[in-house]
Amino acid sequence: MGKDVSRDELADLVRRGKEDDEAALERLSIYVYSHVYAFMYYRVAQPEDTDDLTSEVVLKVIKGLKQQRGNFNAWMYRIARNRLIDFYRRRAMRSEISLNDIPRKELTKSEDFSKQIMTREKLRQGMEQLTEDQRQVIILKFIEGYANNEVAEILGRSVGAVKVLQFRALRALREYFSGRGHAEKN
């Protein structure tokens, strides 16, 4: 669960939002924006794209709220993920290049990566080395602060699978930052 709204508060907001309570819809919109923004931030390079995509996801969530069933966060991130896939697909079609052909920015590599100063930009570049699920684990657990069971619920995986993804994601990032070659993908 995010740190700003408890699980019960979120359930109450969703219930009231479904009943067209304006105050609840406003709070829910802000909640979705702040969480999806962090999710998008590490996935797209341009800040304008981050805002546009986040805004679209918020509107989709509000529009489809009455049909929402089950875990709200899982549903919200599923919408965000689908929108992101759609964004990359369209962009690849426009520029007539595949996703794999998008050039990755290289960092100045150091033998002792721990001495590097980690920035959000560096992390974003490092995350390009990861698989989709590994990226989501890093964002949901390390950036958003969700517990293992909540991440598992959102991803639709077991807690054990989340631990494996977490280990592999960190190892891949470490290899990338220490310049030891390409990351392992599961």
Name residues contacting other proteins, limited to 70-129 (CB under 8 A).
113-114, 118-120, 123
Distance of CA 99 to the CA centre of its chain: 18
CA distance 51 to 55: 6
State which of residues 83, 91, 164, 184 lies at the interface with other proteins (CB under 8 A): 164
Binding map of other proteins across residues 41-80, x = CB under 8 A, - = no contact: xx--------x--xx--xx--xx-----------------
Count of residues that bind other proteins according to CB under 8 A: 40
- Residue 11: closest CA among 20, 1, 3: 1
Backbone angles phi, psi at 81, to 5 degrees: -65, -45
Cβ-Cβ contacts under 8 Å for 80 (sequence gap 6 or more): 36, 39, 40, 53, 57
Closest to other proteins by CB, 88 or 167: 167
Residue 57 has a CB neighbour count (10 Å cut-off) of 25
CA distance 72 to 23: 18
Quick check: 185 binds other proteins (CB under 8 A)? no
- Six token digits for residue 54: 């986040």
> Smallest distance, Å, CB 123 to other proteins?
6
Q: Which residues bind other proteins (CB under 8 A)?
A: 20, 22, 25-26, 29-30, 33-34, 37-38, 41-42, 51, 54-55, 58-59, 62-63, 113-114, 118-120, 123, 138, 142-144, 148, 163-164, 166-167, 170-171, 173-174, 177-178
